[in-house]
Chain A
Amino acid sequence: MTGNPSMKLSVRTAFILLAMLLFASPLMAERNIGVGLHLGGQHNTGNIDSFYQYAQADPQNSMFVGIAFKFSAPFAFLRTGVDNSFAINKGNVLEDQSISLSHTSEGLDTYQLSYTAIPVFAGLQFPLQDKGVFYLGGGIAYFLGTGEVKSAASGTAEDISATALAFGFISGMQLHLTRKISLYMEWEYLEGRSKPVAQTDTDPLNDMENFYVDYTGHRLQLGLMYFVL
């Protein structure tokens, strides 16, 4: 090795090519950037128990369609996306027990809520050879919801819209179907409530807005993810 410049150049080129091969192929195999489409469900949308703890209610159920973006390193991930929910059934307050318990009636008859959520989660993931991956992360979500609440006293429905910031976690699993496509299933739990957006209280002296939208809840979703890189 006496320092032949052309040989030095070819060795450097070989090193660069080797490095590119080493990094490029694991990147392809490890599925670094994925775009997913999923369908999910949520029971007790609006978490009516937190607002109306003395009532017997038939809670709202929702389904949602979402797009997921997942960025993965070998052991870490960042997961974001957009979810859009639709009500399967209206929430219905069947019996207002708060009156019999000598509390002021919250005065809610029915409610219906749909929302758009933008979650961002980050955490660790555990690749299971080339068969799949298990992941667990914490994060935050922004909710923008619209809906309708109907007062028991007046019988009139009022349109509402409410935003909130929520905190929680995601736990999921991907099963690789092909090199580019995976089936994924996720469990999300988020905690967040809006400011008061409507008045439902039947007490004429309470001319205050008291009803808030509670986005807290468990969400389960199933989808397919395509890996662009």
Chain B
Amino acid sequence: MMKRGILTTLVILAIFTPSALTAAPVNGALTLHGGMMPSLGGNLMSYEQGNTFGSTTGIDGINNSASGFDTSPVERLLGASAGITFKTTFYEYFHLRVGYNYFRSVYGGTGKTVYNDGAINRSLKCEYSMWGYDIPVTVGLTIPFWKDMKISFSTGLAYAYGVYTYKFKTDVPSEYEGEFKGWALPLVIHLEGEYFLTRQLALFTSLSYYNGSTNVLADRKQDDDAANKDYASIDFTGYRYNLGVSYYFKPI
């Protein structure tokens, strides 16, 4: 008897909910996306890189070459990201976005270089990496173009958490390891476009710009050969390009 009652309620809800939703001026969409982040973490500068290896511009300045040394360039990190975003649109033209993105470095950050240790040059092997996640919250405007597409622009903030690590190995031999963990609230500017394949399913693309970094953080690894504790901040500033698929809960 109770089962029948529940079933009847569910059937009634199933019949009336869509029409009620259609009538409402609010729609929701879920987007799954993946993308790329050029120059993840910026130049990854830390105090030790300047103090010991003579680079005042982090990963950029660590690159040197000299005769008699086998070197390979240490490139800035390229990040890959995967994420999910929930978007609520109000009266078709206004929206609020909340997302979650996981990212990590997938290219660059490793190589061999040379540094000047007093009067002699020494070989230096470098490994940089970074991973993290962020939760952007933005509000903005949407312009629908017929039933074919929407172009949206929004701004806001993100809670961004990152872990930046490096390892330097010299031919002395000595090892320097650093690990920095921290969070920041970078500003976010977001442009996105959706191309509708059906009235509920759309192809998605976006370009975001984040601007912000953590406070200066202390190195969490103390088991290396560095004489001093290292300090660095994690930079979330940069562009992010994404591609994905959006599903709208109600037909547009």
Contacts and interface: CB of A to CB of B under 8 A. Distances in A.
B47 interface: no
Interface string A70-108: 000001100000000000000000000010000110000
Nearest to A54: B56
A51 B55 CA distance: 10
A103 B116 contact: no
Nearest to B116: A206
B154 to A, nearest CB: 15
Interface residues of B, number: 40
Interface residues of A, number: 42
Contacts of A207: 66, 121
B16 interface: no
Contacts of B195: 75, 124, 126
Given A53-B57, A104-B54, A126-B193, A195 B71 contact: yes
Contact of B65 (A75, A165, A168, A195): A195
Contact of A193 (B60, B116, B119): B60
A190 B39 CA distance: 10
B203 A193 contact: no
A134 B148 CA distance: 13
B118 to A, nearest CB: 8
A136 B57 contact: no
Interface in A128-166: 128, 134, 136-138, 165-166
Given A189-B239, A209-B64, A124 B73 contact: no
Nearest to A52: B57
A202 interface: no
A138 B145 CA distance: 23
A208 B241 contact: no
Contacts of B38: 166-168, 190-191
Contacts of A214: 60
Interface string B37-70: 0110001000000000010110011011110000
B147 to A, nearest CB: 13
Contacts of B218: none
B243 A208 contact: no
A123 interface: yes
Nearest to A212: B63
A196 B64 contact: yes
B79 to A, nearest CB: 10
B65 A208 contact: yes
Interface string A172-212: 00000000000000000111111110000001011111101
B199 to A, nearest CB: 15
Nearest to A128: B145
B36 interface: yes
A81 to B, nearest CB: 19
Contacts of B61: 51, 210
Contacts of B205: 123-124, 136-137
A214 B73 CA distance: 13
Given A168-B38, A208-B65, A51 B114 contact: no
B35 interface: yes
Interface of B: 35-36, 38-39, 43, 54, 56-57, 60-61, 63-66, 71-73, 75-76, 78, 114, 116, 118-119, 121, 145, 148-149, 151, 191, 193, 195, 203-207, 239, 241, 243
5 contacts: A53-B57, A76-B203, A193-B63, A195-B72, A216-B39
Given A76-B203, A171-B207, 5 more contacts: A165-B75, A169-B239, A206-B54, A208-B64, A208-B66
Q: Which 5 A-B pairs have the closest CB atoms?
A: A138-B241, A195-B73, A191-B38, A124-B205, A167-B38
